Amino acid sequence: MMNPKVDLSILPSVDSVLGLSEISTLCRYCDLALVTEFVRGAIDEARQLMLREEITNQASLMSYVLSSVMSRIEETLSPQYRRVVNGTGIVLHTNMGRAPLPQTAVDQISALAGRYGNLELDLKSGQRGSRIDLVEDLLCRLTSAEAAAIVNNNAAAVLICLNTLASDRDALVSRGELIEIGGSFRIPDIMDRSGAEMVEVGTTNRTHLRDFESAITDKTGVMLVVHPSNYKVLGFTADVDIRDLAGLGAKHSIPVIHDLGGGVLIDMERFGLPHEPLVSESVAAGA
């Protein structure tokens, strides 16, 4: 319960706190406007503590304000990304950066990060190059794809594919694959944002090739298959093999998008892990 009779006049001014030697010294390393914001926040918090009679004298008041400001500055100046121990049992943990990079990759990044590099420079001609070409060549070799584009995440890849191939057109997708995964990635939302018109086929637990074929019209732009990476439907189920759907797409000249989620490039079974669909398998199937 707050006491309205508390003497709030002992609260320090913002300028007086900024003038403290401990704070003014730190202002050399931290933006003054930001420190001022921290001071105001600390004073506001102290006011609430005084009204609840958790701070009752000026000495404890100043100690609290100074400690609060120092803590906020220290937190701001500290690295936000820190090394953690993965004890979850999940090897590729999406909240922990997925897979750690091998030491050779770390060494290469370290060697280039603090220096100039040929990011967009053709070393043979000395002319402007493309930051995509080198990576695209490697991806095509790993997947046997004809071409590749590099984006930040899977949602961006799906959005670009749908927008390019099916904007203002129909995109066929099984009802059982209208998934939501972490970070609020929802297939219906991505399709809506892309400009494609979502057309659901089949049922939640069973979808057949004939469901896709019967839904094809002159307005059909793509057929989409989504890998349900974080759940599984068991029991009386059926889905369409990507090879069969790609064959149907080729028959009707309709491209097939395979949203693999993980984008695995090598067979993980050789490391004792469960099989995950490979990009090369989807490419070979015709997606």
Per-residue pLDDT reduced to its tens digit, 248-287 = 999 999 999 999 987 889 998 998 888 888 999 999 999 9
What's the CA gap between 261 and 224, in Å, rounded?
Answer: 13
Q: What percent of the chain has pLDDT over 90?
A: 62
What's the CA gap between 250 and 267, in Å, rounded?
Answer: 27
Mean pLDDT, to the nearest integer, of 164-192? 90
Which residue in the block uniquely carries the two structure tokens 């694959």? 177
What's the CA gap between 158 and 135, in Å, rounded?
Answer: 19
What's the CA gap between 78 and 154, in Å, rounded?
Answer: 31
**Any idea where the domains of the chain sit in the sequence?**
8-77, 131-285
Q: For the chain, give me the number of helices (H) and strands (E)?
A: 11, 6
For 226-252, write each residue's pLDDT tens digit. Answer: 988 777 888 999 999 999 999 999 999
User: Is residue 51 a contact partner of residue 3, using CB atoms and an 8 Å limit?
Assistant: yes
Residues 6+ away with beta carbon under 8 Å from 172: 199, 201, 212, 215, 216, 220, 222, 223, 224
The pTM assigned to this predicted structure is 0.76
| 131-285: CATH class | alpha beta
What's the CA gap between 246 and 37, in Å, rounded?
Answer: 58
Structure tokens, 40: 């105001």
Cα–Cα separations (whole angstroms), residue 191 to 25, 70, 252, 261: 53, 47, 22, 15
Calculate the CA 19 to chain-centre distance. 42
In the chain, the amino acid numbered 78 is S
Average pLDDT of the chain? 90
Q: What is the pLDDT of residue 245?
A: 96
For 193-218, write each residue's pLDDT tens digit. Answer: 999 999 999 999 999 999 999 999 99
- For the cut 60, the answer to whether the pLDDT of residue 2 exceeds it is no
Q: What is the pLDDT of residue 91?
A: 83
Tell how strand 256-259 and strand 197-201 pair up: unpaired
Which residue in the block uniquely carries the two structure tokens 């993965």? 86
3-state SS assignment for residue 26: helix
Q: What is the pLDDT of residue 69?
A: 93
Which helix (H) or strand (E) segment is 39 a member of? helix 32-51
